Chains A and B, each alone.
Chain A
């Protein structure tokens, strides 16, 4: 109903609906690109696409998931253009590799909770950077930005089951990396 009551027209509604998600888009873009200029560029491209296709946006649906979907597609297009494409088969291989790793060492291991104390400022950023792109994206959306599985499934254009498996593997990898960093800071399991 709101869109008919406002007299500013469609674009003013775009600002009203989309501007609150600008920070989120920027942070997601930073996690994808690791580069401020590139992130701004990516967000700007997303913003323009969203503006131009705003008539296709269903006002009753989820705006942040819609915007993030555009952002992800724009980013994947860039990779493709630059020949850095992440092929679905690579991704499957990465996930299989991660699954093996998980089975071998992490699954049902004792909780390494204490290492949380030694995680330093910047460690999470550093650890995130080591994650392969699909894992980085899913952790960013779920744990850093608090999206629901359903929203993430929309953004990644995949079934919720895939979100769940990818997310649990991504967290295992991230945790493992953080433990490694914590060890570098002198945390040792003997000291617990």
Chain B
């Protein structure tokens, strides 16, 4: 093999993609030709540089969504199989009634929404840096939302309660864009969700609570506390392991600032 022939096979050689015969020829050439040897090494180091690039992983929330999609598709397939068998049609109907009754008894989809938000909180709480946009500046975060989604998002100042803004992200729940604010008290994460609502609005579930002249609904889920309320076309939900005192104080502050912004 001469240099010209080696050149034509340089990449396949370095990638280990040559057949045994040509590979042996190429190795023999490299061992006697310092020039080609040097170039093969250069290519190798270039390859290493590329391989060393950080490998990004999918956001945990997204992974969970893909898993859920796979599960949903499975149940759809099952239903299709049943529909193919006339003898089971009655069973399917019965199942449909059972599902409907269950949906009604849990008050529709909103309790699912709060559960959904709790899942998000849990997924992001595992990350070192959960925010998509890191900032402790409230106006910057509000501007970021405006730019990205056109949403008017109130970013409350919770520092009097010792709770600091960390950042924000745009999440998605039930095909709606959700504004997601991250706050932190010490090392405890608090998530503030704002979900724009259009159309169907099932009643919110939870224990009624009141604070600062406002009404809230509280729910415990998976060891977390949630405080939720509606204001106009928006569902608000706070999720954290913090106590209800903290959550209600934050909720009151958020509402007060929201009212002030609306009046302006």
Residues of A bordering B, CB below 8 Å: 9-12, 14-15, 18-19, 22-23, 26-27, 30, 36-37, 40, 43-44, 47-48, 51-52, 108, 111-113, 116, 119, 124-125, 139, 142-144, 146, 148-149, 164, 167-168, 171, 175
Instruction: Determine which of B41, B46, B67, B74 lies in contact with A19 in the assembled complex, contact meaning CB atoms within 8 Å.
Output: B67
What would be 11 A-B contacts, judged by CB atoms less than 8 Å apart?
A: A11-B70, A11-B74, A19-B63, A23-B56, A40-B58, A43-B58, A47-B70, A51-B70, A116-B45, A143-B51, A149-B12
User: By the criterion CB–CB under 8 Å, are A143 and B47 in contact?
Assistant: yes
Shortest Cβ distance from B261 into chain A, in angstroms?
27
Residues of B within 8 A of A18 (CB): 70
Known contacts A9-B74, A124-B53, then 16 further A-B pairs from the complex at CB < 8 Å, ordered by chain A residue: A11-B73, A11-B77, A12-B74, A15-B67, A15-B70, A23-B55, A27-B56, A36-B132, A40-B59, A40-B62, A43-B66, A51-B69, A111-B38, A142-B15, A143-B50, A149-B12
Residues of A within 8 A of B46 (CB): 116, 171, 175
Chain B residues touching A, majority SS: helix
Most buried by A among B41, B47, B49, B55: B49
CA A113 to CA B55, docked complex, whole Å: 24
User: By the criterion CB–CB under 8 Å, are A149 and B58 in contact?
Assistant: no
User: By the criterion CB–CB under 8 Å, are B49 and A124 in contact?
Assistant: yes
User: By the criterion CB–CB under 8 Å, are B45 and A19 in contact?
Assistant: no
CA A139 to CA B47, docked complex, whole Å: 10
* Residue B102, interface by CB 8 Å: no
